[in-house]
Structure 1
């Protein structure tokens, strides 16, 4: 594997033009337009260390996500943040660089909360180590978690250590017929109670709720909440996680991040609401960007043009001036020549 690291170093140090860091390419559509010569990470693969009793796995960037999940499942464990898979080509490096989490995020935390450590090759070809393999290992700025969602703009993530969790003993899914306002009120009320709610989804007047945990906890929640029991619900939650649900087939798709307690927004398009109201998907044309972002910002959130042919309005919500300066300084420190995935974010 050291020979592959040397190949990465030679390509980075010898680059005369921008480089496009790429694993399986399953998320090439995410963010702004792609630029540069491809640096393919798929050869750098394999599990470096996995100790089930410590709930930590360390993996090289080109390792397929499917392989990691299969290994964990064999020991009754999982990546609890449920990263979208987007097909068999998805790699761990791409998972971390994209920073996306699935239906369980509101209950357990985001991908960045599970990143314990990382190795990053910078523009000089030097491998930098951040964090470690335990939760209490950070002194100063936590760069390893900063890499989550950076879309490869700071450097090449060569290795990452992730916290894993045991799979739930029991899971049940229930449904309720509720309008949007009633559904948002219900999930926020349940969020303040000791209930094992691990995922929620509202669409077209139906609120679907997943309960996960110990048998006694799930049984108690079922008695408290009522609702209609749903059998064979795993496929439904997988369709949300991997965005194969019919809702996501729309050509133009917005991802809205809002405070869970924010009220219903009138945005003129069909919505699907997850994470207890914190993540709201919207069908709307890119031409509506100004109105959507104004409304979402007024409610305390931000709006991402997640998937569209035309992203001239900007894929990501414009940064506040102070935050933009922080981004610029980070980029200047890690990649002063600007060779890594230029323009992928802003």
Structure 2
């Protein structure tokens, strides 16, 4: 007998009500601000529109640990999904941030944010198997499937990751999940930044069970995960002091003292082994150097010029500090975004302008 770690009676299907609200908005050309737990509301440009609350459309639809797949409605609290996976000895490997107790599954997918494990296992979009979405044509669409072997059709589900509700109303999603690691060891080593980057580049060529690497204020933080033998052997080889495991949770949820700095917060995405960036302010490196958090009063133009010069992009995480929180797109990419928006939301009613003024 297969075991499901959830109560099918919990939650509620409000898809028909949501569909009707969308159809009414289409009929009156009324813009809609799609909202769940609102924990990511600070990201992106402000949206002036009638609220469309998906939080009541909740509940885990299916979860069989033997299949490594879980399906949930978009308004399902993220903590509920994670509790079910924990009972099954499994996890969302991309280690998504919540930014608050009311975070939802839909918000997790729409924001597309991933935690410290991302470079080693993949991003949110890499674990999406299928979705259901209400389009700007007033139709309830299904993309992908609910099993890992399903590859039929176009992979539109992944396009919803990081779309911030601009393409439609996500109503349901299926995710691939993974077993929890059997052993975990957290280490810290005193080390200057450039040496840490060089060391990470060297370790990246070796079969080490690294699952997180961060650097701040002269200290390199490491996490090793896997089977007990390989993890303990790697820890003995690398050396260092023991680190409290909660450090990674606090990094993921932006609760470290670094994030309390009142200066604007920027997320810099650059090639992992890029040399230290000459920007005024304080930096904290995550993702083995590929994600760099910056606290700085420097202008958006200055920050983006420095990051673009090394092939990266910059996102402002402080509301109201930048007219364009997300890194401006090159003209060809912007046209692709606009064409996709026109195809799925021809009247532009979903979260208009949240990503970019012209999307």
Match of 2:345 in 1: 335
Instruction: For 2:260 and 2:41, locate their aligned partners in 1 and report how far apart those are by CA, in whole Å.
Output: 17
C-alpha deviation, 1:309, in angstroms: 3.1
* CA-to-aligned-CA distance 1:280-322 (integer Å, 9 cap, x gap): 000112x51111111111101111112243222x101111111
Residue 270, structure 1, aligned to residue 282, structure 2: yes
Q: Indicate the residue corresponding to 2:301 in structure 1.
A: 290
Q: What is the aligned partner in structure 2 of residue 97 from structure 1?
A: 110
Superposed structure 1 runs of 4+ greater than 6 Å apart: none
Identify the residue that residue 138 of structure 1 maps to in structure 2: 151
What does residue range 1-346 of structure 1 map to in structure 2 within 5 Å?
4-15=14-25, 16=28, 17-139=30-152, 141-230=154-243, 233-251=244-262, 252-285=264-297, 288-312=299-323, 314-346=324-356
| TM-aligned CA deviation for residue 61 of structure 1 | 0.3
In structure 1, the residue matched to 2:4 is none
Is the 8 Å Cα contact of residues 266 and 316 (structure 2) preserved in structure 1? yes
| Structure 2 unaligned residues grouped into runs of 5+ | 1-10
Answer yes or no: is the 8 Å Cα contact 2:19–2:140 preserved in 1: no
How far apart, CA to CA, are the structure 2 residues paired with 1:216 and 1:37? 55
Return the offset for 1:35.
2.0
CA drift of 1:234 comes to 2.1
Whether the aligned pair in 2 keeps the contact of 1:28 and 1:34 (CA below 8 Å) is no
CA deviations 1:250-276 (Å, max 9, x no partner) are 341000001112111111110000111
CA distance in 1, matches of 2:12, 2:85: 26
The structural deviation recorded for 1:136 is 3.7
Q: Using the TM superposition, give the Cα deviation of residue 3 of structure 1 relative to its aligned residue in structure 2, in angstroms.
A: 6.7
Contact 2:271 2:311 in 1 (8 A): yes
The superposition leaves residues 16-55 of structure 1 with CA deviations (integer Å, 9 ceiling, x where unpaired) of 3210000011111011112211100011111111010111
Q: Could you say what the CA RMSD is over the residues aligned between the two structures, in angstroms? A: 1.4
Contact 1:120-1:129 within 8 A present in 2 as well: yes
| Runs of 5+ consecutive residues of structure 1 not aligned to the other structure | none
Q: TM-score, normalised by structure 2?
A: 0.92
Judge conservation of contact 1:253–1:308 (CA < 8 Å) in 2.
no
By how many angstroms is 1:137 displaced?
2.4
**Partners of 1:123 and 1:335 within 8 A in 2:** yes
Does the 8 Å CA contact 1:212/1:218 hold for their aligned counterparts? yes
